[in-house]
Structures are given as structure tokens and as C-alpha cells.
Amino acid sequence: MKIIAFAGSNSKNSINRQVINKAASFLSDNEVEILDLRNFDAPIYSDVIEDKGIPESILELRKRLNTADAFIISTPENNGFTTAFFKNILDWLSRLDRKTFGDKPVLFMSASPGGRAGQSVRENLAKLMPRWGADIIVNYGIGNFNQKVVDGVWTHEAEKELRTQVELFKSCLFKTEKA
């Protein structure tokens, strides 16, 4: 099973990218491709720009996403919403195919330095992402991230919590695969 993982962040110090990397480390028995969305340039979506053609980088990203059997996505929360960066990527991808995620299973997460663990963005996107073909089977938040991960070192409890969520995701994948 091929899993594509990415963070909906354009920050070079993204804690959500750290979560993606850690989650992927628990999936050594699967093929996991970690994408850095910063490598897929996209102007701010506009129908005027779209009339000139979908950016090549978005076409390439779509091609890569099509190879996945499942996804792991972790996105930060900005004032209760997803980042403008991730929203823009979704806008472009949805112009190619409304079912961007192909009705495939998704482990959806958000990491936050605050205690609410990106609750608003997870609630908002959990309602919206099925429109784009995301079958969110696990929705998990990691709050107080900077107390749980210090200088890249995860506390035992934080690592255990994330591993539990990844294991739940894996168990759902195998049920889906056998069905």
C-alpha cells in the first residue's frame, strides 16, 4: 500500500511537517512518500490565471497524488482556518478534479503550540475535505506541541499517542484493502 504524506504548511520550521515525518516512521511496512508542498509552486488561484492553464507544478502534484492508496495530512491552524498556502493548493487541485483525494482513506492531523490542538481547522476541514474525496478515518490533534517535542525529541507519551493514531489508521487501511 502506498501512502502519500504532507503538511499543509509553507513554514520551513513547520511542526506539522515534524508530525508527518514521525507518523511516517511508524509505517515502515508500507511505502510512504513524503511530499513537501513548498516544491509545487502555485500562484494565488484566479480564473484569469486558470484560463492561461493550470500550473505545471500542480499538474505534477496531481499526478503524484493519483499514485496513493491513502494519505496522511497534517495542517496548521491560522486564526481558526487552514493556511492560505494549503487552501490555494486545494483550490488549484480541485480545478483538475473535484475528488482530489479519490475517496481514499486519510489520517488527518493538526499540531499546535496551543492546547486546542488545531481543533477549529480539523473541524472545518473534516466537513469540507470529503467534497474533495478525502475519506477521513482518523482525525487527531496534538496540542502543546512545544512541550511534547523539544529540539526534535518526542516525549514518550507524545510518541505513544501518535503511534496509537497511526496504528488505528493502519488497522482501518487493512480493513479497506480486504473489502
* Angstrom distance (rounded) from CA 141 to CA 139: 7
Specify the pTM.
Answer: 0.94
Q: In the CATH hierarchy, which fold is given to the domain comprising 2-174?
A: Rossmann fold (3.40.50)
56-78 residue pLDDT tens: 999 999 999 999 999 999 999 99
The strand pairing partners of 129, in sequence order, are none
C-alpha grid cell, residue 92: 488549484
Q: How many CA atoms lie within 13 A of 58 on its CB side?
A: 21
Percent of the chain with pLDDT over 70: 98
Give the list of residues 6+ apart from residue 71 with CB closer than 8 angstroms, or none. Answer: 3, 4, 5, 6, 65, 101, 104, 105, 106, 107, 134
Q: Is the pLDDT of residue 113 over 60?
A: yes
Phi, psi at residue 107, to the nearest 5°?
A: -95, 110
The strand pairing partners of 78, in sequence order, are 81
24-54 residue pLDDT tens: 999 998 999 999 999 999 999 999 999 999 9
Give the list of residues 6+ apart from residue 154 with CB closer than 8 angstroms, or none. Answer: 22, 148, 162
Q: Is 116 helix (H, G, I), strand (E, B) or coil?
A: coil
- Sign of the CA dihedral running 17, 170, 172, 116: negative
Strand 153-154 to 149-150 pairing = antiparallel
